Structure 1
């Protein structure tokens, strides 16, 4: 079965004023859609891979045939990362973390502000394009990591709990070259309910 572009769980302008409607529309309808289309094209001749989930493809990336590995890494990674990314934001969200993730952040980083600074610094420091993540590592610890391009921590055995897109297409129309300001304002959109859902999945 062909992979499909998921619908946004809110309108394009729902995250205003922090993320503008034009950016959301281009980001979802053009960039994410292109990743899905190119992933499907890459797998046209790989019938044994077409029935795998996107999670399986990304997790087992290094075992894929070399002929499609780069395409799956780039386009499958783009599809996987963005599918998560949309759900991690919501209108009328943000603020302090709630639930179990709040306790876990405090236990690991000391307090939310320390964690937020560490996360923002990792995002600002990612050279070129990429994502910044909060992951649960293979040994069960919380850690902030960044990945280049459309790479994902899942390939390295870490479970992505939350992440922010620091490709220029995610913020440039509104913030231009001010990536740190985008990272700062993004916290006003964080959907802590979904972060807690992913934290619960990671803890199983």
Structure 2
């Protein structure tokens, strides 16, 4: 069982000007690689049944992880999984439409209200973490998590639970080179690089 850093599914400069190429290199090649390295160290010595799980499955079974390994697994396997997911959600030029748009309008009142609530969750996350659009029991909602926690970890370990459809990384390494302390500007520009086709695919699968 060894995790590896996946290649980005697009060129490093393909998200310009909203996400700069230097940040993409540092974020993917350095930060994500560090999570991969530390995740591999964290899972060494885990019971065989846990070693056989995928990274996502391991995060869904944290109650089976030995106490002395729990923090390292949460932080590092969590960081690996969150970043893997995040990279797939980025693309310039897609459109929010169809049943996903209809569901957002139904559950939030309008697309603008949804974006406002998502931005508020992302901007209001103190320190480092993530904001998420999740599906749970047939309803969409917005949550945020600290550090590398994820809704797939469940209420006990992340404080929230649900099927992730969209996320934004609001750790400073995700935006600081370009936006410095202007996290709200980064969040506003994030809408220009959301891969709505991928989000819609995840939405349909969550039904």
TM-score by length of 2: 0.93
1:151-190 equivalence runs, <5 A: 151-156=149-154, 157-190=161-194
Q: How far apart are the structure 2 equivalents of 1:46 and 1:155? A: 18
Conserved 8 A contact 2:42-2:72? yes
Q: Distance in 2 between matches of 1:71 and 1:163?
A: 22
Unpaired segments ≥5 residues, structure 1 = none
Q: Aligned to 1:151, what secondary structure does the other structure show?
A: coil
Task: For residue 4 of structure 1, report the CA deviation from its aligned partner.
Answer: 1.2
CA distance in 1, matches of 2:180, 2:163: 31
RMSD: 1.1
**In structure 1, what is the equivalent of residue 158 of structure 2?**
none
What is the number of residues matched between the two proteins?
200
**Whole-angstrom CA distance in 1 between matches of 2:153 and 2:51:** 19
SS at match of 1:33: helix
Unmatched 5+ residue regions in structure 2?
155-160
Structure 2 match to 1:102:
101
Q: CA deviation at 1:58?
A: 1.0
Please say which of residues 97-106 and 107-116 is displaced more in the overlay.
Answer: 97-106
How far, CA to CA, are the matches of 1:25 and 1:46 in structure 2? 32
Question: Which aligned runs of 4 or more in structure 1 are off by greater than 3 angstroms?
Answer: none
State the SS of the aligned residue for 1:134: strand
Instruction: Report deviation, 1:140.
Output: 2.5
Pair 1:21 & 2:38 matched:
no
